[in-house]
Amino acid sequence: MCTSMHTASQPSPDRARTQRSASLAATGRSFHLLWFGEGVSVLGTATTSILIPLLAVLQLNAGPGWMGLLTAAAWLPWLVIGLPAGVWVDRLPPRTVMIAADIVSAAALFTVPVVWWLGTLTLLHLLIVALVGGTATVFFHTAYIKLLPLVVPDHQLESANARLFGTESAAQIAGPGLGGFIAQWLSASLGILLDAFSFLVSALCLALIRPSPAPPSDILEQRPGMAVQIREGIHFVVSDRYLRALTLIGGVSNFGLTGYAALLVLFFVKDLHLSPGGVGTVMMIGSCGGLVGATAATSLAKRIGTGRASTILFLIGGPAALLIGLPPTGSFLFLSIVGMILVGAAVVAGNIIRGAWRQRYVPAHLMGRVITASQMLNFGTMPVAAVAAGWMGANVGIRTTILIMAGIHATACCSVLLTSWGKHKKLPSFSPSDHRQPEPKKVSINRGDTRRWGFFSSPSQQTNALRDSARQAEGRH
C-alpha cells in the first residue's frame, strides 16, 4: 500500500507515529463502512436468492427451462461485457463504479414489487431484472477487488477478506431462512423490496469511504485504445501459468456448481416435496459451511501454507458436491445438507486464500482487466451451465442432472493435482524470471508500441514492461 512506501525524506519518529495512527484510523473507518454496507447488502441478496426462485416456481409456474434461464441471465453479462468492463473499471475510481452499480441494482429490484402489485409480473420481467442486476454485478465485483487493497493494508488482506466472506456467509445462513419465512407468511415481493433498500445502504456507506490514493503508474499516463487494454489483461492471464491454471479450473468448476444450483430449489420443492419454509431452512443450514470456511481460512493458510490449504480445500469441496443430489426422497435430506456444508466451507475458504493472493500478485493498474479476463471464463461458463441444466432437467430428470453437474465440479477440483502450483506449500509470488525478456534494454511503452502487440503472443516486452513498472511503482519487489 502507499502508506508503507519509503520516501526520500524521513519524518521524525513522533511525526511518523502520528501519521501512521491517522492512516490506520482512516483505514479502519473506511473498511468498517465497506464491511457494514456489504453486510446489509449481502443479507438482502441472500434473501432474494431464495425469493426469486420461489416466486418463479410457486406463483409463475416456472419449470426447469425457465429456472435455467433465470440463473443464466444473472451470469451472462460476464460473457458479454466482462472484458470492456475491466477496462472501464481500471480507468475510473472503483468506489464511484460500485456506487453506480448499487443504484442500478436497487432500481431494477424496485420494479418487481411494483409490477407484482399491479398484477402484471411475468417470468420475462424477472429475466430482465436478472440481466440488469448481473450487469451491475460485473462492474461492482471488479471494482470491489480493486478497492479493497486501497482500504486495507497489504499484510491484512487475508483478515479483511475473511471478515467480508464471513459476513457474507453469515448472511447466507440467515438470508434463505428469512426469505423462506417471508415467502410463506408474507410475500416474496416484499422481501425483494427489502433487498432493493439494502443496495441503497451499501451505496451510502461507499459514499462515506475515503480510500487511499491508487499507486502511481507511468503506464497510466498514456492510455492505448480499449482493444489494446483488453489484450493486456488477457495476455497477463494467458502468459502466467498460475493464473491460467486457476482460471481453467475455476471455469469448469463453476460450470458444475451453477448447473446443479440452478435446479436446487426445484429439486427440493418438486422431488423432495419441501415447503417454502423448509427450502429456506435447508438452504440456511447448508450455508453454515461458508461461515466455517471464512472463520478457518486465515489460520489454515498460516498453519499449513496457502498452497497446501488451497489444494486440500479443492479436494474436499469437489467430491462433497455429489452428496447434494443423492437423496431419492426427503428421508435422506441430510445427505444434501452435509454436501452443501462441505462445499460451502471449501469454496469460501479457498476463495479467501486465493483472492488475497491474487490481490498481491496482480499489478494494481492491471487489476480490473486481469480480474475480468479471468472471470470471463470463471463466470462465463455459468450461464451456459444454467441453460444446459435447464434442458437436461427437463429431458433426463432433475436429480440426474444435479448428479452429473456435481461430478463435473468434482473432476475440475481434483485436477488441481495435475498443476505445478497445486503441490506448493505456499502460493507463488511473481518472479520476472517466469517471463524471460527477449533483451535487457529499456522498453518504451506508447501508443505505437501497444498497437503492435499480438493478442496471444508469447511472453514479450509488453508483459515484462507492464509488470516491471507496476512492481517498481508499488514498491513490492
Vertex 121 angle, CA 115 and 124, to 5°: 120
Q: For residue 264, what are the contacts with CB-CB under 8 A and spacing of at least 6?
A: 324, 402
Quote the number of domains for the chain. Answer: 1
List pLDDT tens digits, range 256-273.
Answer: 988 888 888 888 888 888
In a domain, 396, yes or no: yes
Q: What range defines the domain where residue 213 resides?
A: 23-474
The per-residue pLDDT for 221 is 47
- CA dist 294 and 303 (Å) reads 15
In a domain, 2, yes or no: no
Contact 292, 341 (CB under 8 A): yes
User: Between these two residues, 317 and 425, which has the higher pLDDT value?
Assistant: 317
CA distances (Å), 389 to each of 115, 138, 264, 295, 405, in order? 29, 23, 11, 32, 8
In a domain, 196, yes or no: yes
For position 326, which CATH number holds? 1.20.1250.20
Contact 457, 235 (CB under 8 A): yes
In a domain, 1, yes or no: no
| Local confidence band at 8 (pLDDT 50, 70, 90 cut-offs) | very low
- CA dist 354 and 158 (Å) reads 9
- CA dist 137 and 171 (Å) reads 18
- CA dist 413 and 470 (Å) reads 32
250: left (phi over 0), alpha (psi -120 to 50) or beta: alpha
Give 439: exposed, middle or buried? Use CB within 10 Å, 0-12, 13-18, 19+.
exposed
In a domain, 9, yes or no: no
In a domain, 14, yes or no: no
> What would the grid cell of residue 342 be?
462441505
> What would the grid cell of residue 137 be?
454485478
The per-residue pLDDT for 217 is 47
pLDDT above 90 coverage of the chain, percent: 12
pLDDT score of 404 more than 60: yes
438 φ/ψ angles, rounded to the nearest 5 degrees: -60, -35
Average pLDDT over residues 247-251: 88
In a domain, 220, yes or no: yes
pLDDT score of 5 more than 70: no
Q: For residue 347, what are the contacts with CB-CB under 8 A and spacing of at least 6?
A: 257, 290, 293, 313, 317
> What would the grid cell of residue 9 be?
525524506
- CA dist 47 and 54 (Å) reads 11
List pLDDT tens digits, range 287-346.
Answer: 788 878 878 888 888 888 888 888 999 999 999 999 998 887 777 888 999 999 999 899
Is the dihedral angle over the CA atoms 317, 322, 325, 326 positive or is it negative?
negative
| Local confidence band at 238 (pLDDT 50, 70, 90 cut-offs) | confident
Full DSSP string of 408-476: HHHHHHHGGGGSSGGG-SSPPPP-GGGS--S--SPPP--HHHHHT--SSPPS-HHHHHHHHHHHHHHT-
pLDDT score of 400 more than 80: yes
In a domain, 66, yes or no: yes
The per-residue pLDDT for 224 is 57
